[in-house]
Chains A and B, each alone.
Chain A
Amino acid sequence: MALAAGTPAPDFKLQVTPDQAVSLADFRGKPLILAFYPADWSPVCGDQMALYNEVLPEFRKFGAEILGISVDGVWCHLAFAKDRKLHFPLLADFEPKGGVAQKFGAYDSANGICERALFVLDGDGVIRWSYVSPIAINPGADGILEALEGLAGKGAH
């Protein structure tokens, strides 16, 4: 089961390039979207990361950042991000394999891949919305935007 709304997100530190790592604490103070996905290089037009890349300006309107996370290694992520012209980081949940996904309850251990699991965290690192999509179905971006709207509404009061 994926971690539910109201749960503080477990801290993590993952490589984003061969010589650079990011941790959850780096994103304190703003909404953060964590998008776990099975693998780089799925077919181009139906690709979840390509979609988020297009919707990125909408996420940024909420001051939110997005991180893609899969078990692919950093070199694979670099090649994939370059090929698809992605403008947000991809994190390598590579060693121990799927370790972070497991902490979030978003690991498919039978197949050794991350599930298609989405988490929206508030500025304090608390999960405010989570959703797991069937592995074959790209969940789209509507749920993320609704969750960000919910956060923004709460902040206004």
Chain B
Amino acid sequence: MSGHGLKPPVGPSDHVEGPADAPVSLVEYGDYQCPYCGEAYPIVKQVQKRLGAKLRFVFRNFPLAEAHPFATGAAEMAEAAALQDKFWQMHDMLYEHQDALDSDSLVEHARHLHLDMAKLKTTLGSSAVAEHVRSDFMSGVRSGVNGTPSFFVNGVRFDGNWTDADEFAAALEAVANAV
């Protein structure tokens, strides 16, 4: 479809880095086990550094569970960490350890980030985190996500090249300047 738009727009249930009034909002739909998302991870970091306060970055879950057996568990762990205000620490930990996403490793990561393990267990046992992940996934499908990672810039699907940090940053700068 040509008019792929982000549905719903960035809201209170999203995980956000950067100022709310930034001229550019970059939303990534990602899968923690996806190698291309792993490739995108340091590129997004570079782009965030380069645009500074001009960029707000949002991450939503899009686990391709059939292709990636550990993707859903990893996504749920990140959402559970979010309930202890450590979403981004867990997000970064997962992308920096994509070779260790099985359930034992996830528990290790949680320990490493000093999560409250009793609270974590209760959280993971409830349906809330699974529902958050599923709801992110469906919002991605409705928004026109066509693979991982999929990026949306100010609500519009970005079909350009994100694999080169210079090019990606330049495209976002252009949007910032046009706002």
Give the B-binding residues of A (Cβ under 8 A).
43-48, 50-51, 53-55, 58, 84-87, 131, 133, 137-143, 145
Can you give 19 contacting A-B residue pairs, CB < 8 Å?
Answer: A45-B31, A45-B37, A45-B147, A45-B148, A46-B147, A48-B146, A51-B146, A54-B65, A54-B137, A55-B141, A58-B138, A85-B66, A85-B67, A86-B66, A138-B146, A140-B1, A141-B146, A142-B141, A145-B142
> Are B146 and A131 in touch, CB under 8 angstroms?
no
B-chain residues with CB within 8 Å of residue A53 when the two chains form the complex? 66-67
Residues of chain A lying within 8 A (CB to CB) of residue B147? 45-47, 50-51, 138
B residues neighboring A (CB under 8 Å):
1, 4, 31, 34-37, 64-67, 137-138, 141-149, 159
Q: Is the interface of B mostly helix, strand, loop or mixed?
A: loop
Chain B neighbourhood of A133, CB < 8 A? 1
Shortest Cβ gap from B38 to chain A (Å):
10
Supposing A45-B35, A142-B4 touch, asked if A50 and B64 sit within 8 A by C-beta, the answer is yes
CB distance from A64 to the nearest CB of B (A): 14
B142, A142: Cβ atoms closer than 8 Å:
yes
Give the residues in chain B near A51, CB-CB below 8 Å. Answer: 64, 145-147
The answer to whether B36 touches A142, judged by C-beta atoms less than 8 angstroms apart, is no
Q: Are A131 and B141 in contact (CB under 8 A)?
A: no
- Report yes or no: A143 in contact with B146, Cβ–Cβ below 8 A: no
A-B pairs with CB below 8 Å: how many? 67
Q: Are B141 and A140 in contact (CB under 8 A)?
A: yes
CA distance A25 to B34 in the complex (A): 38
Give the distance in Å from the alpha carbon of A141 to the alpha carbon of B150 in the complex.
13
**Which A residues are in CB contact (< 8 Å) with B159?**
137
Determine the chain A residues whose CB is within 8 A of the CB of B144 once the complex forms. Answer: 140, 142
A20 to B: closest C-beta gap in Å:
23
Docked Cα-Cα span, A133 to B3, in Å, equals 12
Q: Is B37 a contact partner of A141 (Cβ separation < 8 A)? A: no
Please give the distance in Å from B151's CB to the nearest CB on chain A.
12
